Amino acid sequence: MPVEPIFLLQFALSLLVIALLAAWYLGPALSTRPLHIAIGVLLIPHAFRHIGLVFMVPGVVSPDLAQGFASSAGFGDLAAALLALTAMVALRLHLPGALLVTWIFSIVGIADLANALRQAEVIPNFQAAWYIPTFFVPLLLVTHLMIVVRLIRAARDADAAVPSPS
């Protein structure tokens, strides 16, 4: 059996389960928390994106894995992880610009995932790194969505709080 249908099924089922868990449990629990705490919690899985560097480790992935994919996925994940950590600290310390750093993280992180997901031809070469796109990427997609929704709401609420000129 070709590996692509198995990959797509595992990816889709992981995405479904994680989305349900987020909607039923995580989202409601975080809705009562202050913004900096809720986003901080959602950044946790992204702080582990350094795991994506495994795409550049010989023997973990197929030697046939395109070097361009391995490098862009590995270094893209590392950049996202470092930005997630920066955002976590900035939010925790209530630093000015914390939400801006979180936006930058979100843009970089989403772009990295979109870049990786558009390269379906590499699926057969994931080997031992298979768990990253079939479990970790769906988790990252859902938490990215949850972060962006909170950032948009925060911006909208801030705009609503500014008195309009009379």
Rounding to the nearest 10 degrees, give the CA dihedral for residues 6, 9, 12, 13.
Answer: -110
| Cβ pair 116, 73 in contact under 8 A | yes
* pLDDT reading at 18 higher than 70: yes
The strand pairing partners of 58, in sequence order, are 61
Instruction: Look up the pTM and report it.
Output: 0.93
> In 10 A of CB 76, how many CB atoms?
21
SS3 state of residue 58: strand
User: Mind listing the pLDDT tens digit for each residue in 118-136?
Assistant: 999 999 999 999 999 999 9
| Cβ pair 114, 51 in contact under 8 A | no
Q: How far apart are CA 102 and CA 116, in angstroms?
A: 21
Structure tokens at 81: 């992880």
The band of 1, judged by pLDDT with boundaries at 50, 70 and 90, is: confident
User: Mind listing the pLDDT tens digit for each residue in 42-71?
Assistant: 999 999 999 999 999 999 999 999 999 999
Which segments of 3-113 are extended strands (E)? none
